[in-house]
Every structure is written in C-alpha cells, then in structure tokens.
Amino acid sequence: MALSESYWRAHDEGTALVDMTVGGMLAEAAAVAGDRTALVEGIPDPGARRRWTYTELLSASEDVARALLSRFEPGERVAVWAPNVAEWVLLEFGCALAGVVMVTVNPALRGNEVSYILAQSRSAGIFVMDEFRGNPMLATIGDIQADLPELREIIPLSGWDEFLATTSGRPELPEIHPGDPVQIQYTSGTTGFPKGVLLHHRGIVNNARLTAQRAGVAEFAPWLNPMPLFHTGGCVLGALGAVSRRSAHVPVLAFDPALVMELIETEGCQVMGAVPTMLIAMMEHPDFAIRDLGSMRAVISGGSTVPAPLVRRIEEELGVDFTIVFGQTECSPVATMTRTTDSIEDKAETIGQPLPHTEVKIIDPESGATLPVGEAGEFLTRGYHVMLGYFEMPEATAEAIDSDGWLHTGDLCSMDERGYCQVVGRLKDMIIRGGENIYPREIEDLLFSHPAVAEVAVVGVPDEKWGEQVAAFVRLVDDTVDHQELFAFCREGLAPHKTPRHWVTVDEWPMTGSGKIQKFALVEKWVAGEFVDPRS
C-alpha cells in the first residue's frame, strides 16, 4: 500500500529477531559449522596467514575471555588500539564472552586523541600494537599513561602469548544477557568531536544478521573485510555478518587495493563491505585487469553518495549485486538498505527501505510533526537497534533519544510512497545563504554526474555578505577540466544561489576512520587559509 506520510512501521518480513549475545552467536556457529573455516588473517604474506575453524575460534575466544577475567571485572572497559589483526577479532569475541566492554580505537589517532577516548571511557586496560604505519602506539601510551589514573593495564599485542599464559586457573565465564553493553564505539566525527556510543549485544547481533540477509549473502560465502574493525562497518557488519552466515571472515590488515584483489582471488571471497573510495581505488588499480575476481557475488557499501554510473560500473565490472546501507553508529549501525533486486536508479538515488523490525519516520525538525511523503526532514528511527546511549553523557543521550525511544539522527532525508528514503544532507551540513536553505547533497549529486569529477564535497564557508557561501571541493579524473567549466555545468542545472561560488581541487581528503569526508575539517582549513580558490 502506498504511504501518504513519511512513516514506516516495523515489519518482520518473515524474519524473527534473536535474543542472543555475541558470544552466543559464535557458539551457535561452532555447534553447526565447527569444522568450517571461520577466520583467515588477511596479511600481505600468504605463507604467514593464520587460520581458525569455528571450533578453534570459539575455543581461542574463550581462552581470551578467561585471561581477561584474570585482570578485569565484567562491566569494566578495555580498549583495543590496533589495525585489522587476528587478535582484534579474538578480543572482540573474548570481551563479549567475559562481559568486558570493548572500546575501539582508530590506529591512526595520536596521543591527545587516544588520551581523550581512554579518559572519557574510563578504560581500565588497553591492548596496543607496538607501532603501525609509523605511529609509535605503544610508546604513545607510555607517554600519556600518567594522565590516565584509571588505566592500570597496558598489554602489547607483541606479548599476546604472555597475556594468555597469565590466566589464573580457568575462571568461570559469567552469564551475559542480550541487553548488556558490549562495545563503546566513538562516533566518526564528520561534524565535530566524538562521543562514545554504548552498544548492546542484541543490537549488533541482529543488525549484522539482517544486513547480511538483505544483501543476499549465501551461507558459507567467504567474506572479505577491508573495513576497519574499530568501526561498526568492520566489527559488526563484517565480523558478525560473517558469523551469521557461517562464513570464513577475512579481515584485511589495512586497505590496499592490490592486497584486497589478491585475497579475493586466493581465498575465493564472495562478499565484501567497502566504501565507494575503496571500490574506485580497486577499479583504477593496474592489477584490476589481471586478477581473477570472478568469485565475487555481493558488495555492501555506504558512507557517501554512489552515483548511478558508478553503481552500474561496479555491478558490471565486478559482477556483483551491489547494495547500499544507511545509518550511523548509534543504530548498530544500519537502519535502511537497498535490495539486490532494486533498480540502478534506486541504488544510486535512495538508501532503500528500513531493515526488518526497524521503525522510521521523517519529521519537521522544528515542530516534530511527521511529514507528508516527499518532504525533507529529520530521519528518526526506533527499535532493537538503537544504542543504550552515549557513555556517561546523559544530556547528549537525552538530546539524541527522546522519551518515546526515537533516535534523532541529525540526517535530513525524505521518504517516498514506497518507504524508500533519500538523503538530503545533515542538519549541521545545511547551508544558510542569505536566509535560503541549501542542501549540499543536491549539488553533490549534480557534480557527480560530470565525467571529470571523481569525488566531491560541498560545504558552507563563512561570508561577510551572505552569512555562508557555497564552496565545492572536488577531486578530478580529468585535469583539463577547470572550475569555470564546472561552474557553468552547475549553473545549467541549479538556481544561482545554489551554484558554488568557491571551488577547490583536492588530491586527498580529511577522512574519518570509517572512510567519510570530514566536512568540518574542510571548513576549518578554508577559514585557516589553507585552501585557495583561483577564481577569487
């Protein structure tokens, strides 16, 4: 039935929610697929890749849980600061089995950023890589430890065997409940400083299951995971999504297009999660023409606009069913998703329908009224997937989750009569130029359709006359195209006040750990005079 207002009630779509913990999910997989490969270490040296069956992964995770309980109490927070190594996955399951709340930390962060996360989460311990990509992580923790009185344990991953050997006896694993906290994920920070999102077992277990099902992932399909494990895209959709399908999970140490394609070929991977920038890097890499990627069946993407030509290219050149997810860390993380059977236009222009058991509505941000279909407003969602709250931030939690349980995402969206949603932008991204509301997404979509534009971000920058002025930051694939041509292209399709007045060509972006462009950082750099508009 066609909708008249922008409200989608929660449908079960023939799929029941499971009342299960992360540890219970792994135990169930081991009980029915114990001899099948569960984990393959996706490091560059094929000869050094370690492997675990589901039986072995469960046993190893239980050993980690017991070692944790020799040092920490259930409910305490323990951080992990490392790239996508196998120990990260063992700690994800080990913490869940021990009732210890895992705090995930981006391996690219520096001392002051890590210090904030450890202090705000009141972490009692941290597992840390000695160093990664020139970041002296273990030394950094030593430097900041004095400022973190609650941090009593620093465990180098280089001392992993010693950590496991310190288990005193065989501590009984505690009883864990599906509603218990399991992880603190720090928000990506596209609009400012991160908050600690407290997630629960039931939310991430079911979200991983339902996302994998809608993506059409076959049982036992090997799952390549180049998404960072410190983000929900990696440790929920990737790691837990793979377990939900009893798949071999292949976490990639760190994204490298050549390594990703080699792993697809050698491990026979059939599914992967990847943001658009990763897929573009793969298809632009010289190895793309020589690697056998014929095993691939599904790609789960999201995080930014995916124009129709890119959707078509991905599906044709990779031979996959391409699906788009939409959500945020606060909703475990997926709220809506396209289907494998959707048209190219729906995959490019919408973020699909809500997942099963997920309630969604679009409201007027001022009045709170549910809007008619087709009108843009704030995207709200309610259900099993909503976070417990921001860790020890009651005011921020109350601002995000209202008294009726609706999560206010801050995303500006519209819903059509089928329940398919479109992203207009972020409430905080909206540009107000001379009293006119301008949505960057509209301008970005138009610029994406220009063949010379590979990536684009449109922001509002300060302007004495107009309050804000529209600025377009672009990465070009054709250097012969200049800003004047792009200005004329936009002017043909946009009203004058929407057409960008400032243009900047970039070679790389300030990025969040989950692969999203940090628009606030672009504005900060603009204000600081780090960008020059040649038209000025």
Q: What DSSP string runs through 117-155?
A: HHHHHTEEEEEE-S-BTTB-HHHHHHHHGGG-TT--EEE
Residues 200 and 269 in one domain: yes
Residues 454 and 402 in one domain: no
pLDDT at 390: 97
pLDDT at 535: 52
Determine the number of helices (DSSP H) and then strands (DSSP E) in the chain. 17, 26
pLDDT digits 0-9 by tens, 261-298: 999 999 999 999 998 878 989 999 999 999 999 999 99
Is residue 218 included in any domain, yes or no? yes
User: pTM of the prediction?
Assistant: 0.84
Dihedral (Cα; 19, 69, 95, 219), 10-degree rounding: -60
The domain boundary, picked from 415, 445, 460, lies at 415
CATH assignment at residue 217 = 3.40.50.12780
Is residue 532 included in any domain, yes or no? no
Is residue 284 included in any domain, yes or no? yes
**In angstroms, rounded to a whole number, what is the distance separating the alpha carbons of residues 8 and 261?**
39
Residues 362 and 489 in one domain: no
pLDDT at 424: 82
Which residues, 6+ apart, have CB-to-CB distance to 267 below 8 Å?
A: 40, 222, 224, 248, 250
Confidence of residue 128 (pLDDT cuts 50, 70, 90): very high
**In angstroms, rounded to a whole number, what is the distance separating the alpha carbons of residues 227 and 515?**
9
Q: How far is CA 440 from CA 421, 437, 451, 496, in A?
A: 17, 10, 19, 14
Residues 322 and 275 in one domain: yes
Is residue 3 included in any domain, yes or no? no
Residues 458 and 323 in one domain: no
Hey, is 27 helix, strand or coil?
A: helix
Hey, is 337 helix, strand or coil?
A: strand
Cα Rg of the chain (Å, integer): 23
Residues 437 and 336 in one domain: no
Residues 144 and 257 in one domain: yes
Is residue 266 included in any domain, yes or no? yes
| Rounded (5°) CA angle 509-350-276 | 30
> Tokens at residue 296, please?
């691939």
Confidence of residue 190 (pLDDT cuts 50, 70, 90): very low
Is residue 27 included in any domain, yes or no? yes
Is residue 224 included in any domain, yes or no? yes
Residues 269 and 353 in one domain: yes
Residues 375 and 433 in one domain: no
The arithmetic mean of pLDDT across residues 392-403, rounded, is 96
**In angstroms, rounded to a whole number, what is the distance separating the alpha carbons of residues 181 and 2?**
38
Strand partners for 24: none
176-210 in b/e form (b: 16+ CB < 10 A) is bebebbbbbbbbbbbeeebbbbbbbbbbbbbbbbb
Q: Provide the number of structural domains found in the chain.
A: 2
**In angstroms, rounded to a whole number, what is the distance separating the alpha carbons of residues 219 and 222?**
9
pLDDT digits 0-9 by tens, 141-157: 999 999 999 999 999 99
Is residue 160 included in any domain, yes or no? yes
pLDDT digits 0-9 by tens, 10-27: 999 999 999 999 999 999
The domain boundary, picked from 361, 384, 415, lies at 415
Residues 231 and 261 in one domain: yes
The arithmetic mean of pLDDT across residues 438-453, rounded, is 86
Hey, is 467 helix, strand or coil?
A: strand
Residues 361 and 503 in one domain: no
The arithmetic mean of pLDDT across residues 61-88, rounded, is 97
CB of 100 within 8 A of CB of 76?
yes
CATH assignment at residue 454 = 3.30.300.30
| Mean pLDDT rounded to a whole number for the chain | 92
Structural domain harbouring 147: 18-415
pLDDT digits 0-9 by tens, 171-187: 789 999 999 999 999 98
